[in-house]
Amino acid sequence: MPPITALLHTRNDARRLGRALETLLPCAELLIVDHFSTDATLRVAREYGARIVPADGQATTKHYLDRARYDWILCLDPSESITERLQATLFEWNSLPGDSLAGTTAFSVVVREQVDNNWQDLPAPQTRLVPRNWTRWNGLLPAHERSSKALEGKLLQIAFP
């Protein structure tokens, strides 16, 4: 399978961005769309080797997808990170032959949310790994696709910071 671009939108996320980026080892590219951060967000992104694109208020999501180097896009929020099991799944996914996923349009993950000192799984997986030509969005993240194939591992939503 082709390599993956991780796409994150940031705005003053310096205190939490490093945690997200350090879990994205399976991704060949880290692409940050920065929405006018005034803290150390850009410095943190550069420390992890991310490519930074300034946000454009008139740009569509497709505008940012076109800046990705690779055809598969993993979308995360800066307050999220992926578990070791999801990392392993993505490394395995990268090694699959291209025709093994024919007909699969997107992939979803179980999201585990931090609530106070506890963790709870959200009721339904969320579509997060999509092809570059994806057109269905819910804000900055992909809209859910019922036919998306579930990946093993979880995405953690961590309370600020």
User: Was domain 4-157 assigned CATH 3.90.550.10?
Assistant: yes
Q: Single out the residue of 129, 133, 155 nearest to residue 142, CA to CA.
A: 129
Rounded to two decimals, what is the model's pTM?
0.93
Q: What is the pLDDT of residue 101?
A: 60
The domain spans of the chain are 4-157
How high is the pLDDT of residue 159? 82
Q: Do residues 131 and 101 make contact, with C-beta atoms less than 8 angstroms apart?
A: no
Kindly list the averaged pLDDT for each block of 10 residues, start to end, along the chain of length 161: 91 96 97 97 98 91 92 95 96 75 82 91 94 92 93 91 59
Q: Which two tokens stand for residue 29?
A: 């590219």
What per-residue confidence (pLDDT) applies to 161?
Answer: 59
Question: Which residue, among 66, 76, 85, 58, has the nearest Cα to 140 in the 3D structure?
Answer: 76
Return d(Cα 46, Cα 34) in angstroms, integer.
12
pLDDT score for 57: 83
